[in-house]
Structure 1
Amino acid sequence: MTTPTKLPAAPVIDETVRLMTEHYVFPDIAEQLRGLLDRRLAEGAYDVDDAEELARLVTADLQSLNGDRHLRLKHHADPVSPEQGAATLESIRRDFDTSLGGAPRLELLEGGVAVLELAPMLFPLDWAAEPLGAALTLASRAQALIVDLRTNRGGDPDTVAFVCSYLLDERTHLNTMHWRDGERSEQSWSLPHVPGARFGGSKPLYMLTSDFTFSAAEELAYDLQQLGRATVVGEPTRGGAHPCRGWTVHPHLEATIPTGRAVNPVSGTNWEGTGVQPDVLCAAADSLDRAHALALARLTD
């Protein structure tokens, strides 16, 4: 379906500004962006014919102050529900149904080294627990494991904790989310029990990353790297550490606004703006071969 022409930008900008001012984790940045978007609207910068172009222009302005890639106006080709959060769920359900639940590849390589691809995202845990649990249980028999996150664009922090639970031996503090009000935080821990068998916390573990790897996929690599559990191989990731929520502001547009910030218990910081830095830096296209070689060398020591 095509979006309507002669799009009235003012209602979209007004609602986006209202939501950002009310919910963005950094209130001072929200106030600065309010002024920027209001000024750009008055100047006619958003006088465009379609929603996709408006989304591109507004997103560039929203990200112009602090580079927060989760703060954006997202275009949806098909009309989306006005219910809060529904736009994102509708858009990712098709990906879930066509990717074996987010685990499209599990392969045993030479030397008892398994590679498990998690893509295109870490889907909501109530969807993904069964397929991910099955894949991780099967991978538990490998001598070493390579988790491929090179094409993973993010997802659910609860799913990050679920995956980590298969790769550790005991319940472990992974991350803490600090919410906008400054008075409330929420810790993320691996689970004390998992359905199926664990790969565990001692066998060699490698995480493959690229400059596409984003958000919750970055958290998965970062959490395990900071714990000293995994070796990250590949390219620095995109650098998005702020959990966000989505609001429909037009039948084809969703404002996604970070409502908290992540703090790792080991580093005391996160990967926002910098990305996850690999332990072994190489081109993403070469990272699987590199990790496989590292795993074989370690297994034969």
Structure 2
Amino acid sequence: MTPEQLRAVVNATADSVEQRYVFADLGASTAAILRANSRDGRYAGCTGPEDLAEQVTADLHDATRDLHLRLLFHEGGAVGEDDPVAQEAWWAEQARRTAGGIRRVERRGGNVGVIEIGPVLGDPERAGRAIGAALSLVADADALVLDVRGCCGGSPDGVVLLLSHLFGPEPVRLSDIESRADGTRQVWTVPVPAHRRFGAGKPVVVVVGPETFSGGEALAFDLKEQGRAVVVGRPTRGGAHPRVGLVVHPLLELTVPVARSVSLFTGRDWEGVGVQPDVLVPAGDDAFAAALEALRASGSPPSPR
């Protein structure tokens, strides 16, 4: 990359962070850091887009500690929200190759249903049939394990759709979403067919780990907050800010957090701290076995907190 191209990418990144980052003051100060670094020649030694992405991402993290705020290198070409046709095609192919994020559905002894989710839970338009089919297969199980240890993200609407199968027919208000552009938006469960709903009184355990991130964390967080599930495993990574993708170079995508989750019970979220398990499983121990043990020990769902 030429010096002019390096400056253009950094300036475009700084402008987008300043204009769209969920916290306006922090976005402005972070943008100022990037511009100062550019003037001081910090990025002059970057040999190409991949090097630049690594250096800028490190600076973004130093300034904000926000794991969703990144400059990503895409060897095959970056796709962002400014090209909705290409973005739609990319996510549709992702959903096709991963069954919308439904990795495994299983019945185990004792009529325990298991759904493993990863790497990314898709949105209802592309993954809705897969999510509905998975829940249909466990709807009459006596207990359910949701394994999100390998889930590193997901569509907020896809998370809501899956969660909607785990409550009764009446709408349930989940964590709100707060953004600079739209203020506070309430999030509620959506109607699902009765034959796909896993009964509200039956026990649910969510298995989490250090690779669980973003949408996977949202699923565990809301179920824990609502007292609908016991969370078992190890603390998650701590990324609670929904983001958008912006192309700032043909091979570079800037992901900018534009909103945050807000707990109905505490007003906080899991950003930077992760979702903390109810049952902590030491590293190296079998978290799935601990989840099954938690089911055996549970007589009824825990109370909301």
Superposition TM-score, scaled by structure 1 size: 0.91
Q: Which residue of 2 aligns with 1:218?
A: 217
TM-aligned CA distance change 1:193 to 1:94, over 3 Å: closer
**How large is the RMSD of aligned CA atoms in angstroms?**
2.2
* Shift, 1:110, TM fit: 1.5
Aligned CA distance change for structure 1 residues 173 and 82 (closer, same or farther; 3 Å): closer
Q: Do the aligned residues in 2 keep the contact of 1:95 with 1:120 (CA within 8 Å)?
A: no
CA distance in 1, matches of 2:125, 2:105: 21
- Matched residues, percent identical? 38
Which runs of 4 or more aligned residues in structure 1 lie more than 6 Å from their structure 2 counterparts after TM superposition? 4-7
Distance 2:161 2:80 in 1: 30
- Check if 1:10 corresponds to 2:7: yes
Preserved contact between residue 7 and residue 50 of structure 1 (Cα < 8 Å): no
Deviations 1:218-257 (A, max 9, x none): 1110001011110001111111111111110001101111
1:2-48: CA deviation from partner (whole Å, max 9, x where unpaired): xx788831110111111111111111111211221112112222121
- 3-state SS in 2 of match to 1:173: coil
> Compared with structure 1, are the counterparts of its residues 89 and 148 closer, same or farther at alpha carbon in structure 2 (3 Å cutoff)?
farther
Matched residues in 2 for 1:281 and 1:83: separation? 39
Give the AA of the match of 2:96. Answer: D
Distance of aligned partners of 1:147 and 1:52 in 2 relative to their CA distance in 1, 3 Å threshold: same
CA deviation vs aligned residue, 1:135-160 (integer Å, no higher than 9, x gap)? 01111111110001001011111111
Counterpart Cα distance in 2 of 1:193 and 1:208: 24
Instruction: Check conservation: 2:150, 2:212, Cα contact below 8 A.
Output: yes
Distance 1:224 1:263 in 2: 14
Q: Which residue of 1 aligns with 2:293?
A: 293
Aligned mates of 1:90, 1:41 — CA distance in 2: 34
Q: How does 1:68-217 map to 2 (within 5 A)?
A: 68-81=66-79, 84=82, 92-169=91-168, 170-181=170-181, 184-194=183-193, 196-217=195-216
TM alignment of 1:13-92, pairs within 5 A: 13-47=10-44, 48-81=46-79, 84=82, 92=91
- Please say which of residues 211-220 and 90-99 is displaced more in the overlay: 90-99
Q: Are the equivalent residues in 2 in contact too, given 1:177–1:263 (CA < 8 A)? A: yes
Structure 1 residues not aligned, in runs of 5+: none
Q: Deviations over 1:189-245 (max 9, x none)?
A: 111334742112111100011111111111110001011110001111111111111
State the AA in 2 paired with 1:146: V
Give the letter for the 2:10 counterpart.
Answer: I
Q: Note the residue ranges of structure 2 that are not aligned, 5 or more in a row.
A: 301-305
Query: Contact 1:88–1:246 (CA<8 Å) still a contact in 2?
Result: no
Deviating more after overlay: 199-208 vs 4-13: 4-13
The equivalent of 2:276 in structure 1 is 277
